Every structure is written in C-alpha cells, then in structure tokens.
Amino acid sequence: MTSPAFATVALDIDSTVSGIEGIDWLAELRGDIVSRKVAALTDEAMRGVIPLESVYRERLAQIRPRRDEIDALSSAYIAALAPGCDTAISKLRNAGVALILVSSGLRQAVLPLATELEFDGGDVHAVDIHFDAGGAYAGFDASSPLTVSSGKSTLLASLRLARPILMVGDGSTDLATRSVVDSFAAFTGFVARENVIRNADVVVASFAELASLVLS
C-alpha cells in the first residue's frame, strides 16, 4: 500500500471545512450596516489587503455576540459542512494521516463541528471568546496568535507535527503558513481568492480532490 503524500493535514474551518465565515454570519444578526462593514473587513483581511490584527477586535466590538448566538453559529457551521468533508476526513484518518483544525474563528463556535467530525479538543486550535454571567459578550483571548496575520504560522511552528505537513485553506492567513509547512493547498470549494490561488502549491476545489491529493 502506498504511503500518504503527507503525514499531517492542517485544515482551516471558515470557507473550507464549512461554507460560512463565522464572524460575518454573526454580523448579519446586527443588520445590513454592520453586516456590510464586517464582511468588507473580513474580505480585505483574507485577501491580505490589510492585516488580520487590524480588524479582529473591531469586528467583534461591532457585533458583541452573545453566548446563545455563538450556539446558533455552531449549528450553522455544521449545516454548512463542505460536501464530502466527513468522508474525506475518515479516509485520511484510516490511512494514518494526522489531522488538525486551525482557525481564526471562535473556539466555542467551532467545537461542536469538530466533535461532529470526531476531532479531539486538543487538535482544535481557535480563539476563545469570553462572556459574563448573563451570557453577554466580554471580550476574546487577545493573546491568541490566531488573531494576527502570521498567527497560523506561529501556531503550526510551535506544534510537534509529523512531516510532511499540508495546510489547506482559502485565505491569506492560511497562505502565510507556507514558510513553516511543506505544501499549501488553496481550497476553492466556497470562495476563490486570486492572490491565494496564485501563490499556492496546489489548488483543490473539493474534499474529494483533497483526499486524492494526499492519498495518491
């Protein structure tokens, strides 16, 4: 049996494992003005036009999501799971590939999706959000490296991951990991960003293609 092409696959979540941008989804709950503003900031950050750290706090300050809204976002993530994602993940695991989730999204929102896909909590890397006793927004973990443009690179470099490593994602923060991983795959199943595609080592449009890439 041929060994997988990669020992570890790191997956972005928003617009990769799931077809939504979580913070943009939350912004839609605040009406058109906030939604348009937050979506524009997200798009600019994911295209690399502006650094993520310049918009991370501002977007959440505009939204101030409550605990119940984070719970609703969890359900939305699961409902928007990429076609074939669960099957591909099972195939990769069965072939001995290690998988982790790496997201600049909110940890409490992505954990149920991770559980659905049978990830251990320790293999889920995202940003913690804080609430007060009544469930109102009380900030986020500003010390998390995942709130800055280079954060995914910093995180991956700090983990003891089996090589070779493939990073899969749609945005500039995913592309930035090329300096610390062995290959970067631009995922275009939900959104195609020209600069990310242009600088990727490979492009995959579906999780079936991803599984073929790793297991071929």
- β partners of residue 106: 127
- What DSSP designation does 104 have? E
Q: How far is CA 172 from the centre of its chain?
A: 11
12 flagged as catalytic: yes
CA distance 145 to 19: 23
> Is residue 14 among the annotated active site residues?
yes
Spatial distance between the Cα atoms of 109 and 159, rounded to a whole number of angstroms: 23
Residue with tokens 């595609």: 197
Catalytic residue chosen out of the listed positions 12, 24, 170, 174: 12
How far is residue 216 from each of residues 1, 73, 153, 156, measured CA to CA in Å? Answer: 11, 35, 26, 24
Q: Which is catalytic among the residues 14, 24, 170, 174?
A: 14
Query: Residue 138's closest CA among 147, 129, 146?
Result: 129
Q: Which whole-number Å values give the CA distances from 176 to 19, 33, 151, 154, in the listed order? A: 21, 31, 9, 10
- The closest of 214, 207, 145, 212 to 182, measured between CA atoms, is 214
Q: In sequence order, which residues have a C-beta less than 8 Å from that of residue 171 and are 6 or more positions away?
A: 12, 15, 45, 46, 47, 193, 196
- Which of the residues are catalytic? 12, 14
